[in-house]
Amino acid sequence: MADVPVLAPAAEDAPGKKKSKWLIIGLVAAVVLVGGGVGAFFLWPQADAHSKQAQEKAKEPLTAPLYVPLDPPFVVNFEGDPLVRFLQVAAQVMTRDPETVALLKANDPAVRNDLLLLLGNQKSAELGTRDGKEHLRAEALAAIRHVIETAGGKPDKVEAIYFTSFVMQ
Which residues are within 8 A (CB) of 67 and not within 5 positions of it... i.e. 6 or more apart?
A: 92, 93, 94, 162
Rounded to whole angstroms, how far apart are CA atoms 29 and 38?
14
Question: Which pLDDT tens digit goes with each residue over 3-61?
Answer: 666 666 555 555 556 677 888 888 888 888 888 887 777 776 655 556 666 666 666 67
pLDDT score for 24: 86
- The predicted structure's pLDDT at residue 54: 66
| Cβ partners under 8 Å of residue 66, min gap 6 | 94, 95, 96, 97, 98, 101
Query: Hey, where are the domains in the chain?
Result: 13-60, 66-168
**CB-CB neighbours of 126 under 10 Å:** 12
Q: Which residues contact 60 (CB under 8 A, 6 or more apart)?
A: none
SS3 68: strand
100's enclosing H/E stretch is: helix 98-106
Q: Which residues contact 148 (CB under 8 A, 6 or more apart)?
A: 100, 103, 104, 107, 154, 155, 157, 158
pLDDT of residue 28: 87
pLDDT reported for residue 78: 77
Domain spanning 66-168: which CATH class is it, in words? alpha beta
User: CB neighbours of 162 closer than 8 A, spacing ≥ 6?
Assistant: 67, 91, 92, 94, 137
Q: Enter the pTM of the model.
A: 0.64
Phi, psi dihedral angles at 132 (to 5 degrees): -65, -40
Question: What is the tens place of the pLDDT at every residue in 104-149?
Answer: 999 999 999 999 999 998 888 888 899 999 999 999 999 999 999 9
Residue 38 CA to residue 30 CA, distance in Å, equals 12
